[in-house]
Amino acid sequence: MSIQERAHASKKASIRLAALDGETKNNALEAIAIKLEARKTEIIAANREDCARVAAESPDTPLLKRLRFEDEKLAEVTEGIRSLMKLPEPVGQTKLATQLDNGLDLYRISCPIGVIGVIFESRPDALVQISSLCLKSGNAVLLKGGSEAANTNRILAQIISEASVEAGLPEGWIQLIETRADVSEMLKLSDDIDLLIPRGSNDFVKYIMDNSSIPVLGHADGVCHIYLHSDADEAKMLPILVDAKTQYVAACNTMETLLVHESVAARLLPEIQAAMEAKNVALVGCDQTRKIISVGEATEKDWRTEYVDYKLSIKVVSSLEDAIEHINTYGSGHTDAILTEDEAAAKTFMTLVDSANVFWNCSTRFSDGFRYGFGAEVGISTSKIHARGPVGLDGLMIYKYKLIGHGQTVGEFASGKLTYTHEALNKDCPL
């Protein structure tokens, strides 16, 4: 089948999938977990082939770690599937109920988006995670994984498809796409694909955004800040700064720029420098910073850079407003925190900083679907519409309006014979 035909098949399957009840979907999830466990040996063998091929080509690549899929990763993904089963059924919830007239009732009902195109890089666990999220939310999915993981992805997709179709899911709801050429084609299929979720490097996400008219859920950068206000509590400061910068440097919610109020810079920067350098963090700073501590020079480019590394830029600012202005100018709208003991300053910061996640007195590293308690995460969005910040199952849902009448026409209301009541109804949609 061509990619067009496969996208079309998944669109058709998505209609049936959207109509399934929660029990059928949970049974399918359980069947997938069981089959993944039962065929463990095959999965690991396929993965070892992939790893051996990649290792032969470039033995030292960090890719190998992400690519490896053995007992531990398998246990993680099946545990993930089982915790997903425990989440409330997202489809068919009545979000709004309004009586338009006696016997004319309007309901806003949650429903799946339709067909999700997911493009991810080398981690095969992403395939299982994303397809089980799509299943739970009633969405069909087109998956394109990294070519390094071709064998692993093929067997995982095959197991998920077989187990779920045996459990009553419509054939074709999950499709694996294998070639780069197919991805270019996929980006054009706006009639059949409703949302793209690219997971991977910033450049990769940006490429997808620039090359498709299909809506994209993803973030192109994570330039996160912490602002030390003049009254920041020093006891809280170092643990938070060290955590935000070094707990996992490759994450998008890692601090890249530290802003320090000028009234405390001279006192605090030396201990910050010591703590960061003890963790091998390279520092660059603005002119004012460099008058206080001996660090490299930060250029305009630094303020916009997501280092994804043991590196931090530091800027001294003269006010809360300057800090906010810097963040809104150079930040990426991801996650920004203020350290202060002044509630009014925190409120100003959290209101005026235009980011998906705004924090007071805690590490930027908390912005994450699992930590937020969403159970599972599709990704983190820096888009301003649909879903913002860590995106759980909610981000894969939309709604439809159901209107139930008894023969009403608009003409009767236009003529004044009937009038809209617009009363809130306290009940769920009967169908």
Nearest to 216 by CA among 197, 235, 230: 197
Q: Is 66 in the site for a second copy (CB under 8 A)?
A: no
Residues 135-154 that bind a second copy (CB under 8 A): none
Smallest distance, Å, CB 61 to a second copy?
26
Smallest distance, Å, CB 318 to a second copy?
19
Gap between the Cα atoms of 393 and 136, Å rounded: 8
Gap between the Cα atoms of 328 and 338, Å rounded: 14
Residues 92-111 that bind a second copy (CB under 8 A): 98, 100, 104, 106
Q: Is 393 in the site for a second copy (CB under 8 A)?
A: no
Residues 74-93 that bind a second copy (CB under 8 A): none
Residues 201-220 that bind a second copy (CB under 8 A): 209-210, 213, 215, 217
Token pair belonging to 223:
């330039």
Out of 365, 377, 382, 391, name the contact with a second copy by CB under 8 A: 365
Q: Is 168 in the site for a second copy (CB under 8 A)?
A: no
**Nearest CB to a second copy, comparing residues 151 and 363:** 363
Out of 405, 419, 427, 428, name the contact with a second copy by CB under 8 A: 405
Nearest to 4 by CA among 252, 265, 239, 186: 186
Smallest distance, Å, CB 419 to a second copy?
11
Residues 305-324 that bind a second copy (CB under 8 A): 324
Out of 204, 207, 310, 360, name the contact with a second copy by CB under 8 A: 360
Please choose, out of 11-19, 28-36, 57-65, 197-205, the segment that lies near a second copy by the rule CB under 8 A: 11-19
Q: Is 22 in the site for a second copy (CB under 8 A)?
A: no
Q: Is 404 in the site for a second copy (CB under 8 A)?
A: yes
Smallest distance, Å, CB 370 to a second copy?
8
Q: Is 347 in the site for a second copy (CB under 8 A)?
A: yes
Smallest distance, Å, CB 321 to a second copy?
11
**Nearest CB to a second copy, comparing residues 61 and 348:** 348
Q: SS3 string of 57-93?
A: HCCCCCHHHHHCCCHHHHHHHHHHHHHHHHCCCCCCC
CA separation, residue 6 to residues 108, 113, 128 (Å) = 31, 18, 19
The site map against a second copy for 223-262 (x = CB under 8 A) is ----------x-xx--xx-xxx--x---------------
Residues 310 and 282: beta-carbon distance below 8 Å = yes
Please choose, out of 9-17, 22-30, 38-46, 302-310, the segment that lies near a second copy by the rule CB under 8 A: 9-17
Close Cβ partners of 243 (under 8 Å, ≥ 6 residues apart): 363, 365
Smallest distance, Å, CB 330 to a second copy?
12
What's the sign of the alpha-carbon dihedral 71, 72, 75, 81? negative
Residue type, 130: I
CA 337 vs. chain centroid, Å, equals: 19
Gap between the Cα atoms of 408 and 101, Å rounded: 9
Out of 86, 373, 416, 417, name the contact with a second copy by CB under 8 A: 373
Close Cβ partners of 223 (under 8 Å, ≥ 6 residues apart): 256, 257, 303, 304, 305, 306, 330, 331, 332, 334
Out of 87, 162, 366, 418, name the contact with a second copy by CB under 8 A: 366
Smallest distance, Å, CB 281 to a second copy?
15
Out of 400, 419, 427, 428, name the contact with a second copy by CB under 8 A: 400
**Nearest CB to a second copy, comparing residues 160 and 281:** 281
Token pair belonging to 310:
């043991």
Question: Which class for 3: exposed (0-12), middle (13-18), buried (19 or more C-beta within 10 A)?
Answer: buried
Phi, psi of 223 (to 5 degrees): -100, 90
Please choose, out of 10-18, 56-64, 146-154, 297-305, the segment that lies near a second copy by the rule CB under 8 A: 10-18
Out of 56, 410, 417, 426, name the contact with a second copy by CB under 8 A: 410
Angle, to 10 degrees, between the axis of helix 22-38 and the axis of helix 124-137? Answer: 160
Residues 86 and 26: beta-carbon distance below 8 Å = no
Q: Is 367 in the site for a second copy (CB under 8 A)?
A: yes
Q: Is 358 in the site for a second copy (CB under 8 A)?
A: yes
Strand ranges (E), 187-281: 195-199, 224-228, 255-261
